[in-house]
Amino acid sequence: MLTLPDYSDIIKAQMRLKGVVKNTPLEPSKSFSAMSGAHIYLKLENFQSTGSFKVRGAYNKISSLDPGELANGVVCASAGNHAQGVAFAARALGLRATVFMPVFTPPLKVIATRSYGADVKLEGETFDDALSAAKKFQESSGAVFIHAFDDPLIIAGQGTIGLELFQALETIQDVVVPVGGGGLIAGIAIALKKTNPDIRIIGVEAEGAASMQTSLRDGKLTRLTSMSTIADGIAVKTPGELTFAAAKQFVDEIVTVSDAEIAHAAYLLLQRAKLLAEPAGVASMAAVLHKKLDFKNRQVVTVISGGNINMGLLEQILEKGMMAEGLRARIAVLIPDMPGELKSVITILENLFANINEISHERSITTVPVGHVLVTITFNLQQIEQLDMVCKALEGKMKKFEVLR
């Protein structure tokens, strides 16, 4: 029967990982401290080899196995980051790796995993579907299955982050950690509660995939019937037995954040801190910025767990973030379908120094009167007040328009 690692196992993992993974930066943030009222530090695992913390656990697990066990290679299931960690570790150790990923995994994660030499197989719509396929492959091939989170050696590898945190900042009061299957928070919690039991360990799940919070509430492992979140890296239908046990024993709070809050945090990290992070990786920051608990005046570490973001999703996050901050706007203007009418609208925008980003025309929908065209214009602004100026100018020209939110 598998048992949770202890502090000594995490120390051993740190020794195994020396020279293989990065001791990632712990950076104070004046901007996020001002926004939250806390003293914020960012643990930047998006700077880690493979762009995620997952390589820590994967390498610790695989390098601990007897070479005889590894004759048929390793196999895993992953939504992306664990896949890259396993592929990276397998290549470093001269092993064959087979990785099962959901069919909707962002292409860049698939490409990155293959770049480390793994044989990638796309199976099913969710992580759990890929997990089932991977276990069938393991039974038929004899490859060693490397679980994404429910394994003591995986947990110990992730726990090395906790050692690094305490070594860098002994005055930590809160550590806020994204939670999917629970391996990351389990390892960090075991490491930090041993060094200082008063450190508050807070887990953050996506509202649409809150399997750990649900399980803790029910007092038993509970499988979600469905999930919906942009944070695919923490979208897991049920936590592991070991990670659930660790959460019960060592984790102080589990909170949830919405997709809108996650997207907002990702946007602000990029805009204010110049840091690119994936939705799962910024769940911790979303919880702090949206004050899911009282963090005021406390020394708070947010673990930014990964940076492997889908570029299409990043585009949407930037678009919505700019519109929410009033730096981009979109208006629909109904004008006569005649020469010069569109130019009159564009002239208004140009005179107010609004930079046009996109224009579209619609004539065929039934709400557009015959002889008219509905023009949708997206434009960038230099300051929030410009949108009001644009609206007043359009009203002065008797234009029928709507600001689209």
* Residues tagged active-site: 54, 305
Instruction: Kindly provide the residue ranges of all beta strands, DSSP E only, lying in 324-367, ordered along the sequence.
Output: 328-336, 355-362
CB 396 within 8 A of CB 348: no
Which strand ranges, in their side-by-side order, compose the sheet holding 200-206?
A: 26-28, 39-44, 299-304, 174-178, 200-206, 253-257
Helical H segments across 65-126, by residue range: 81-92, 107-115
Q: What is the enclosing helix (H) or strand (E) of 183? A: helix 183-195
Quote the DSSP letter at residue 332.
E
Q: For the chain, what's the residue count?
A: 405
The CA-atom distances, in angstroms, between 291 and each of 26, 153, 204, 403 are 21, 33, 12, 30
Quote the DSSP letter at residue 77.
E
75 φ, ψ to 5°?
A: -140, 145
Rounded CA-CA distance 389/397 in Å is 13
Report CA 125 to chain centroid distance, whole Å. Answer: 19
For the CA atoms of 64, 65, 68, 70, the dihedral, rounded to the nearest 10 degrees, stands at: -110
Rounded CA-CA distance 49/87 in Å is 12
CB 70 within 8 A of CB 144: yes
Burial class (CB in 10 A: 0-12, 13-18, 19+), 94: exposed
Rounded CA-CA distance 323/310 in Å is 20
CB 182 within 8 A of CB 215: no
- Mode of pairing for the β-strands spanning 400-404 and 328-336: antiparallel
Q: What is the enclosing helix (H) or strand (E) of 311? A: helix 311-324
